[in-house]
Amino acid sequence: MLNADLEAMAEQVAELILESKRIVVFTGAGISTESGIPDFRGKDGIWTKMDPEDFTIQRFIARPEVRKMQWKMLAEGGLVKDVKPNAAHYAIAELEKLGRLDCIVTQNIDNLHQLAGNSPGIVFELHGNMQFVRCLGCHRRWPMAEILARLAVEELPVCEHCRGILKPDAVFFGESLPQAVLSEAARRAAQSDLCIVIGSTLVVYPAAQIPVYACDAGAKLVIINIGATPMDSKAAVRIEGKAGETMTAVINYVKKKMSKGSY
């Protein structure tokens, strides 16, 4: 249960949702921490324990020991093993069911929006996802599960076809983002009238440019995050709160107001 201030702000967000026609939800790692996946820069985030330099494409290609460390982390269920959506993901899936969502632009690679029930066609994954592994030599792709199974006997799997380096299909630092996904996400943001940011520090570009495109186009901005972001001053509503309970309150207000026929 939220405190009175947070309840009032959740109701304000619900009103903004019901007054808007083209809503873009922008998510970061903070929406998935309640599913057990650590974020990067929050309290106990991944970058407080690991060196982000080890996740640059340059170091991944140059150093076999870095590749071994990453495959070992994945084999131990670091990021992908049976994680489940949480209340925040389900609230956003309900927004789509209620016809109140244009798209989701996510920096996350965990596939949890799709698992919560959002249509894959409206989930724009700017940083790829961990469901697949790609060969950097011949560009063939395999389901992540197939390569994880090989890790039981191989420390450093290589491509069966060309012996090339295998890499999870997520975007590493130093790699460009999938251009078509980025352009469509930017186009949608520039046509939106409401952008809701959930669980992101908004410090990694070009992803963090998406809410800026929305604001520049005149969209209203909502930020739901634990911790400050550089865009807080532009937010019509800024909620310092947990994604799960906040989005649950928001979607309950949306449904309550719709049932009263007030929207």
- Give the nearest distance from C-beta 212 to ligand APR in angstroms: 14
Nearer to ligand APR, 22 or 41 (CB): 41
Shortest gap between Cβ of 246 and ligand APR (angstroms)?
Answer: 7
Considering the candidates 89, 113, 127, 139, report the single residue annotated as catalytic.
127
Residue with smallest beta-carbon separation from ligand APR:
30
Task: Please say if 161 is a catalytic residue.
Answer: no
Place of tokens 């304000």: 12
Q: Which residues bind ligand APR (CB under 6 A)?
A: 28-30, 33-34, 39-42, 45, 107, 127, 199-201, 204, 225-227, 242-243
- How far is Cα 37 from Cα 23, in angstroms, rounded to an integer? 26
| CB 199, min distance to ligand APR, A | 4
DSSP 167-178: EEEEPPBTSPP-
Please give the C-alpha separations between residue 165 and each of 42, 76, 102, 135, 140, in angstroms, as whole numbers: 32, 20, 37, 6, 11
Helix 209-216 to helix 179-190 angle, to the nearest 10 degrees? 30
**Nearest CB to ligand APR, comparing residues 43 and 163:** 43
Is 103 or 239 the residue whose CB approaches ligand APR more closely?
239
- Least distance in Å: CB of 181 to ligand APR? 13
- Alpha helices by DSSP H, listed for the chain, are 4-19, 57-62, 64-75, 87-97, 112-116, 144-150, 179-190, 209-216, 243-259
Instruction: Closer to ligand APR by CB, 41 or 257: give it.
Output: 41
Residue by residue, DSSP assigns 64-85 as HHHHHHHHHHHHTTSS-TT---
Q: Which residues are catalytic?
A: 127
